[in-house]
Amino acid sequence: MEPSTILTLAIEASNPNLPTPGVLLAREGLGVLARAELRQEGRHDDVLMPAIAGLLSRAALKPTDIDEVLVSIGPGGFTATRLACVSAAVLGELAGACVLAVPTARVALASSFVEGSSPGRVVVAMAAKGPETYVARFDAGMHGPWTELGSIDADTFARNLLPGDVLVHEGHLPELFLEIAARNKIKCIPICLTAEGLLACRRVALAVPAEGLRPIYPREPDAVTQWRRRYGRAPGDIL
Quick check: 22 and 47 in contact, CB under 8 A? no
| Residues 6 or more apart in contact with residue 92 via CB below 8 angstroms | 69, 98, 99, 210, 213
Quick check: 171 and 151 in contact, CB under 8 A? no
| Residues 6 or more apart in contact with residue 160 via CB below 8 angstroms | 123, 135, 137, 149, 152
Q: How do residues 88-105 score in pLDDT, each as one tens digit?
A: 999 999 999 999 999 999
Is 0.85 surpassed by the pTM of this model?
yes
Q: How do residues 169-225 score in pLDDT, each as one tens digit?
A: 988 899 999 999 999 999 999 999 999 999 999 999 999 999 999 999 887 666 666
Q: Which CATH superfamily is domain 3-105+193-231 in?
A: ATPase, nucleotide binding domain (3.30.420.40)
Q: Indicate where the chain has its CATH 3.30.420.40 domain(s).
A: 3-105+193-231, 115-190
Sign of CA dihedral 56, 45, 14, 179: positive
Q: Reduced to 3 states, what is the DSSP secondary structure of residue 128?
A: strand
115-190 topology per CATH:
Nucleotidyltransferase; domain 5 (3.30.420)
In whole angstroms, give the CA distance from residue 178 to residue 103.
23
